[in-house]
Amino acid sequence: MTATETKVIYRDSPTYEQARVGRVFNHRRPKRYPHGVVEATCVQDIINAVQLAKSEKLRVSVRSGGHSWAAWSVRDDAILIDLGKYNFIEYDEETKIAKVSPSTTGRILVEHLSGKGRMFGGGHCPDVGLGGFLLQGGMGWNCKNWGWACEQIAAIDVVTADGTALHCNEQENSDLFWAARGAGPGFPAIVTAFYLKTRESFKAMKNSTFIYPLSEYKVVMDWVQKAAKESDESIEAVAVGIIDPTTQVPRILTSFLCFQQTESAAQASLAHINASHPPGAIMEAVSQPTSLANEYCGQDLANPHSHRYIAENAYIKNDADVTEVLRKAMTTLPEGSKAFTLWFSMYPGSRRELPDMALSMQSDHYMALYTVWEKEEDDQRCREWVTDVMREVERESVGAYLGDSDFQVRKTRFWGTEQGKRLMEVRRKWDPVGRVCGFLDEGDKSGVEGLENVHEWQE
């Protein structure tokens, strides 16, 4: 293959810097420099990029939406395959399956399916590409009740590490299909299409939201956990430690998002929450009509563009005192930042047996820090806060979610013991030379071996 067949943006090009990090959401830009960037528009471009890397003894990295907090796609001396210009959505009316490109975002897919009376539970952040989201498992809308988004993958198309195009499902190339549901950036091939099962869209979405002062922290956190467990399968429940953007005063926000088909059903689902919420709320918005389009707008505000981010997360032990484990994380957010800490109920889905797939780590309680700020001079202060909080939280955790992690900073478990071993075996089988970059650990040394899958805070 020659560079003229598929355009490669090399480091001496005036458009290289834009191609390198222009689509990276996190403005805490990495100091890593790919050998070249291919902005793919078709499968042949992807095959050509792999063949180029093979001929020049380079690695390949992949970017779907650019929303990886640690910018996993930006790797030294690799061919970066950027899928931002490789876009399609095809919907089969008979099977109700949507075939989509990895760069398709949850918001775009929801908009496309809405006219057909269907939906897909993509990522909460509207500009997250489905590629990274699904490979990591997909903690999507109402995940606690509907299951992981990757469970709705019917099949995938891939280009392997040697440049071969394959179709994968439970019968064909089944080990790659197994790995695609939970391998994250360690998937040993490049996904070119997902075939996704869709669900009926919801005609009556409502949200009950309550905001409290920090003085009510314990009462509110104890209540929201109880209320989430007592809720029916239509309700997604979260609690968030926030900094009020107007007053700059820390608060505790609780939100119960209800997915129903009728107004009466939605009111019935939210009734126990509206009746039992603790007194003392600063703000109450009870059973407010909403939609996924509206919810995406709210997520846009919470995850502003052109900002610097550090994300961290943990699955808290089922029997832990979650309220106390998360007290520091929820109530000591860095002053002057736009940071927030999320508790996300995963029960009852966390108690069911998962399908046979790489994804195998979960608990009743998911927590994540999204540390958000604007100025480079605040980097150290925000990083130290995250380290300080997570050093304590990890003692009461069982592992973490790939999507909100940075393997350069912390070692922990991302899979069950057997699934972790099997995943690394699948990686070695399909990519024995480590052509696909894989997990970005400290020094980018993991290569073919992948991650250790051990639970350890790295100082």
pLDDT, tens digit, for every residue of 274-284? 999 999 999 99
Residue 455's pLDDT band (cuts 50, 70, 90): confident
Q: What is the DSSP string of 166-216?
A: EEESSSSSHHHHHHHTT-GGG-SEEEEEEEEE-EE--SEEEEEEEEEEGGG
The residue with tokens 């992807």 is: 46
Q: 5 pLDDT band (50/70/90 cuts)? A: confident
- What pTM did the predictor assign? 0.96
What pLDDT shows up at residue 2?
Answer: 45
CA atoms within 13 A of residue 141's CA, in its CB half-sphere: 26
Evaluate whether residue 422 is within a structural domain: no
Averaged pLDDT for residues 1-7: 64
Same domain, 216 and 192: no
Q: At residue 457, does pLDDT exceed 60?
A: no
| E strand map for 291-360 | 308-316, 340-345
Kindly report the number of other CB atoms within 10 A of residue 318's CB atom. 14
Question: Is the pLDDT score of 370 beyond 50?
Answer: yes
| pLDDT per position as a tens digit, 207-232 | 999 999 999 999 999 999 999 999 99
**Sign of the C-alpha dihedral, residues 315, 317, 322, 327?**
negative
Q: Would you say residue 367 has pLDDT above 90?
A: yes
Specify if 455 maps to a domain: no
Adjacent-strand bridge partners of 228: none
- What is residue 3's predicted lDDT score, i.e. its pLDDT? 44
User: Cβ distance 453 to 78 under 8 Å?
Assistant: no
Structure tokens at 61: 């990295």
**Mean pLDDT, range 256-260, rounded to an integer:** 98
Within a domain: 153: yes
Distances (CA, A) of 43 to 80, 81, 130, 193: 15, 11, 17, 10
Say if residue 95 is in the same domain as residue 221. Answer: no
- Domain of 93 in residue numbering reads as 89-200
- Does 2 reside within a domain? no
Based on the fold, state whether residues 24 and 101 are members of the same structural domain.
Answer: no
CA dist., res. 372 & res. 60, Å (int): 30
* CATH value at residue 160: 3.30.465.10
> Are 140 and 50 members of one domain?
no
Please choose, from the candidates 242, 260, 244, 266, the residue with its C-alpha nearest in 3D space to the C-alpha of residue 252.
242
According to DSSP, residue 117 is labeled T
- Look at residues 206, 150, 209 and name the one whose alpha carbon lies nearest to residue 180: 150
Cβ contact 193:180 at 8 Å: no
Same domain, 212 and 318: yes
Tell me the residue type at 301: L
Interval 202-212: pLDDT, tens: 999 999 999 99
CA–CA separation, 432 and 446 (whole Å): 13
User: Are the C-beta atoms of residues 125 and 303 closer than 8 Å to each other?
Assistant: yes
State which amino acid sits at residue 27. Answer: H
Which tokens go with 227? 């209320």
Calculated CA dihedral for residues 418, 61, 314, 305, nearest 10 degrees: -160
Confidence of residue 458 (pLDDT cuts 50, 70, 90): very low
Report residue 253's pLDDT band, with 50, 70 and 90 as the boundaries: very high
Q: How far apart are CA 394 and CA 64, in angstroms?
A: 30
Task: Mark whether 209 and 195 lie in a shared domain.
Answer: no
Claim to verify: residue 235 and residue 345 sit in the same structural domain: yes
Give the H/E segment covering residue 255: strand 250-260
CATH number assigned to the domain comprising residue 53: 3.30.43.10
For the record, the structure tokens of 66 come out as 């650019």
8-state DSSP, 343: E
Q: Is the pLDDT of residue 156 over 50?
A: yes
Q: Is residue 459 over pLDDT 60?
A: no
Q: Is residue 355 part of a domain?
A: yes
Q: Residue 456: which pLDDT band, with cuts at 50, 70 and 90?
A: confident
Nearest to 80 by CA among 106, 114, 46, 30: 46
pLDDT for 390 equals: 96
- Segment 175-198 shows an average pLDDT of 98
Q: How many domains does the chain have?
A: 3
- When the pLDDT of each residue in the chain is averaged and rounded to a whole number, the result is 96
Decide if 456 is inside a domain: no
Contact of 262 with 200, CB cutoff 8 Å: no
Kindly indicate the confidence band of residue 201, based on its pLDDT and cuts at 50, 70 and 90: very high
Give the separation between CA 156 and CA 131, rounded to whole angstroms: 11
pLDDT, tens only, 335-365: 999 999 999 999 999 999 999 999 999 999 9
**186 and 247, same domain (yes or no):** no
